[in-house]
Amino acid sequence: MKHYSEYLQEHGVKPTAVRILVWEEVAAMTETFTLADLENAMPHMDRSSIYRALRLFAEHHLLHELNDATGLKKYCVCRCTDHHHLNHIHFNCTHCGKTFCLEDYSIPLVVLPKEFRIEEAEYIIKGVCPKCSR
């Protein structure tokens, strides 16, 4: 990945020291994560600073915000080809509570009446993950 400050600038985010540190941690995440996960990974960083960075990253389409019915807001790095977050499916394991980004699987196109305009689509499948199936 490009240097983090350049990457943030390309997406309209001013690369402050805090934002660069938070993005560096976020970019290393391979699964969905919560604010608490980042707090644990960055114990010397203020919770509100982390939260503000996450909100800004989501506003600039660098992250997806997920509401998967676990009661916790989760995030994942956005790899969508457009800014409408219409590309991939998320899978929530009802046993372990983990949410997985299934980037190789696309959300089926939903045709709405012409008066409606899609801005975002959230597609979450619930079931049991491979680890919990064993």
pLDDT attached to residue 1: 46
Of the chain, the end-to-end C-alpha distance in Å amounts to 35
Q: What are phi and psi of 125, to 5 degrees?
A: -100, 135
Using the structure block, give the residue that is written with the tokens 């919560």: 34
Q: Closest Cα to residue 98, out of 39, 32, 36?
A: 32
- Which pLDDT tens digits describe the chain residue by residue (134 residues)? 458 999 999 999 999 999 999 999 999 887 889 999 999 999 999 999 999 999 999 999 899 888 776 778 889 888 765 555 556 788 888 898 888 888 777 777 788 999 998 777 778 888 999 999 98
Residues 6+ apart with CB under 8 A from 30: none
Q: What are phi and psi of 41, to 5 degrees?
A: -75, -20
Using the structure block, give the residue that is written with the tokens 């990945």: 1
Q: Which helix (H) or strand (E) holds 103?
A: strand 99-106
Measured distance CA(78)–CA(67) in Å, rounded: 15
